[in-house]
């Protein structure tokens, strides 16, 4: 049985949550491998919209184990809040959810540190989600991070917090109104309490995953954010702090690359981006506004309006290369209904020249103008279409153009937010 990684091919918000939820119906394990509560996975379950930030999108299925891997950064309060809200909706998560004790913890000082850094950057700010993700990953790399396991050992926790607070004193002491929040003993007390409440969910995720691979279980590896936000290969420095590409599943989970057989790239039928950074096909006028309203393009985590633009085949070809994509999931096709003419970017103009590949130095994206090809739009509604024959010819042509240009077959096309509003071509299992 193949293990399939589901990743975002753009700047996040491609609709991975819905695709993972649908594939999870037939999965044994669904595993988040990176990011934290900066993600917002929106899933429509029986007409109700649910947003998950940390818990994998497999959680709505009985009999499926949803695992949070060691590569994720966990805000314990957020995680417990998510558990509570699922419970309130009648979803018992205790048997379904397992969280790795090796996942790093986000503390209140991480958010404060991030706010301080964003302010210091001024007009060069990243436009982060403010969830403390960057500073928590920075601590991990600096080898001063605190893991969920540490919340179960008071001496270890106190020792580690003492060091962290000492290293961050130059920032935190400048925030006198919050001195109480950064008092070591208080932090220890709160963290121990949260650790106790998290106890039932802590699991040997790495081991569970390895045993799943051994017994040929159906495993879905769930990415958060998107390829172009990858900390090494995205539009640096306007990126998140983790590896969002399929390789991030290997490092995030301790999983061998040869164990991943299918890489499903989720591609929104147009482009969006939240936060700062280059976006060659951005539409700032009426069409962009229309995509935003029709596609309800507002951040699931921060509520910020998303920047919208045409599909960028150059960026997608780069994503296909980085991830070794073997199948495409095109989402939100219905949002394009009724637009007379559609454009897709097939090259970047830099001065007098046009280049048909992603620049090695992504800072150059600031200077490029998109060269676009025009494709006819369609008048009929595609909303809720389930069969390819139900799609207008122009919509099929649009999809074929994407698939042919990228040299990757379509697995699925999503035509609405609800379960079942999809045209399936192929499943990983
Ligand atoms: P951070 O991940 O909060 O550090 O934010 C870094 C950049 O990634 C910012 O531009 C955010 O808007 C963006 N970002 C983080 N998470 C998501 C997401 O789930 N969807 C889209 N953009 C995101």
- What is residue 19's predicted lDDT score, i.e. its pLDDT? 97
Nearest to 363 by CA among 238, 247, 177: 238
Q: Is the CB of 223 under 6 A from ligand 1?
A: no
Per-residue pLDDT reduced to its tens digit, 267-291:
999 999 999 999 999 999 999 999 9
- What is residue 278's predicted lDDT score, i.e. its pLDDT? 97
Look up residue 4 and give its DSSP letter. E
Q: How far is the CA of 299 from the centre of ligand 1 (A)?
A: 9
* Mutation choice for ligand 1 from 17, 111, 121, 128, CB with most ligand atoms inside 8 A: 128
Q: How far is the CA of 129 from the centre of ligand 1 (A)?
A: 6
- What is residue 376's predicted lDDT score, i.e. its pLDDT? 98
Q: How many CB atoms lie within 10 A of CB 95?
A: 10
* Mutation choice for ligand 1 from 10, 15, 32, 275, CB with most ligand atoms inside 8 A: 275
Residue 421 makes CB contacts below 8 A (sequence gap 6+) with 383, 384, 385, 386, 414, 415
pLDDT of 298 higher than 90: yes
- What is residue 47's predicted lDDT score, i.e. its pLDDT? 83
C-alpha Rg value of the chain to the nearest Å: 22
Q: Write the residue with the smallest CA distance to atom 11 of ligand 1.
A: 128
Q: What is the pTM of this model?
A: 0.97
- What is residue 98's predicted lDDT score, i.e. its pLDDT? 98
Computed over every residue of the chain, the mean pLDDT equals 96
Rounded to whole angstroms, the Cα distance separating 65 from 194 reads 22
- What is residue 207's predicted lDDT score, i.e. its pLDDT? 98
Q: Is the CB of 42 under 6 A from ligand 1?
A: no
Q: How far is CA 322 from CA 230, 232, 243, 268, 413, in A?
A: 10, 11, 11, 18, 22
Strands 327-331 and 262-268: parallel
Q: How far is the CA of 251 from the centre of ligand 1 (A)?
A: 20
CA 122 to chain centroid, in Å, comes to 26
Q: How far is CA 167 from CA 80, 85, 187, in A?
A: 28, 36, 16
Q: How far is the CA of 239 from the centre of ligand 1 (A)?
A: 7
Q: How many CB atoms lie within 10 A of CB 207?
A: 10
- What is residue 162's predicted lDDT score, i.e. its pLDDT? 98
Per-residue pLDDT reduced to its tens digit, 325-371:
999 999 999 999 999 999 999 999 999 999 999 999 999 999 999 99
Look up residue 201 and give its DSSP letter. G
Q: Is the CB of 134 under 6 A from ligand 1?
A: yes
First CA to last CA across the chain, in angstroms? 7
Rounded to whole angstroms, the Cα distance separating 112 from 166 reads 15
- pLDDT range class, residue 390, cuts 50, 70, 90: very high
Tokens 């025009």 found at: 374
Is 104 annotated as catalytic? no
Q: What is the average pLDDT across 214-221?
A: 97
Give the CA-trace dihedral at 21, 27, 32, 37, to 10 degrees: 30
pLDDT of 1 higher than 70: no
Q: Is the CB of 13 under 6 A from ligand 1?
A: yes
Q: What is the average pLDDT across 97-116?
A: 97
Q: How far is CA 107 from CA 134, 144, 396, in A?
A: 12, 13, 48
Q: What share of the chain in percent tops pLDDT 90?
A: 92
Rounded to whole angstroms, the Cα distance separating 30 from 22 reads 12
Q: Is the CB of 305 under 6 A from ligand 1?
A: no
pLDDT of 216 higher than 80: yes
Nearest to 391 by CA among 412, 363, 362: 412
Rounded to whole angstroms, the Cα distance separating 29 from 58 reads 8
Q: What share of the chain in percent tops pLDDT 70?
A: 100
Identify whether the C-beta of residue 187 lies closer than 8 Å to the C-beta of residue 166: no
Is 41 annotated as catalytic? yes
- What is residue 57's predicted lDDT score, i.e. its pLDDT? 92
Q: Write the residue with the smallest CA distance to atom 1 of ligand 1.
A: 128
Residue 94 makes CB contacts below 8 A (sequence gap 6+) with 200, 201
Rounded to whole angstroms, the Cα distance separating 295 from 93 reads 31
Per-residue pLDDT reduced to its tens digit, 153-194:
999 999 999 999 999 999 999 887 888 889 999 999 999 999
pLDDT of 37 higher than 80: yes
Catalytic residue selected from 28, 41, 75, 334: 41
Q: Is the CB of 14 under 6 A from ligand 1?
A: no
Q: How far is the CA of 235 from the centre of ligand 1 (A)?
A: 12
């Amino acid at each position: 049985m193949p293990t399939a990684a589901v990743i975002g091919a753009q700047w996040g918000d491609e609709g991975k949550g819905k695709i993972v939820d649908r594939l999870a119906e037939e999965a044994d394990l669904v595993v988040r491998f990176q990011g934290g509560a900066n993600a917002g996975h929106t899933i429509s379950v029986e007409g109700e919209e649910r947003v998950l930030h940390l818990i994998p999108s497999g959680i709505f299925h009985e009999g499926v184990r949803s695992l949070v891997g060691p590569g994720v950064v966990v805000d314990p309060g957020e995680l417990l809040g998510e558990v509570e809200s699922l419970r309130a909706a009648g979803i018992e998560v205790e048997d379904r959810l397992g969280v790795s004790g090796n996942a790093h913890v986000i503390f209140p000082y991480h958010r404060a540190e991030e706010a301080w850094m964003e302010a210091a950057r001024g007009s060069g700010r990243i436009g982060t989600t403010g969830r403390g993700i960057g500073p928590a990953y920075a601590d991990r790399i600096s080898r001063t991070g605190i893991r969920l396991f540490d919340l179960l050992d008071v001496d270890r926790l106190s020792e580690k917090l003492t060091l962290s607070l000492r290293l961050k004193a130059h920032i935190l002491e400048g925030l006198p109104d919050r001195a109480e929040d950064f008092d070591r003993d208080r932090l220890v007390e709160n963290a121990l309490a949260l650790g106790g409440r998290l106890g039932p969910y802590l699991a040997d995720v790495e081991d569970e995953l390895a045993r799943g691979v051994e017994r040929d279980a159906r495993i879905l590896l769930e990415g958060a954010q998107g390829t172009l936000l990858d900390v090494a290969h995205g539009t640096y420095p306007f990126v998140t702090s983790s590896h969002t590409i399929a390789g991030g599943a290997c490092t995030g989970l301790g999983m061998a690359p040869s164990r991943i057989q299918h890489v499903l790239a989720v591609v929104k039928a147009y482009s969006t981006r939240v936060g700062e950074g280059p976006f060659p096909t951005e539409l700032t006028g009426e069409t962009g506004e229309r995509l935003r309203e029709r596609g309800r393009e507002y951040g699931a985590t921060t509520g910020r309006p998303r920047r919208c633009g045409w599909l960028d085949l150059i960026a997608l070809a780069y994503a296909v290369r980085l991830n070794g994509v073997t199948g495409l999931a095109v989402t939100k096709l219905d949002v394009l209904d009724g637009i007379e003419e559609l454009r897709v970017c097939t090259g970047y103009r830099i001065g007098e020249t046009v280049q048909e590949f992603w620049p090695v130095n992504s800072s150059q994206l600031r200077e490029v103008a998109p060269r676009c090809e025009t494709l006819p739009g369609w008048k009929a509604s595609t909303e809720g279409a389930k069969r390819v024959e139900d799609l207008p010819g122009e919509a099929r042509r649009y999809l074929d153009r994407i698939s042919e240009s990228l040299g990757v077959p379509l697995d699925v096309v999503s035509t609405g937010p609800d379960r079942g509003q999809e045209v399936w071509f192929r499943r990983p299992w």
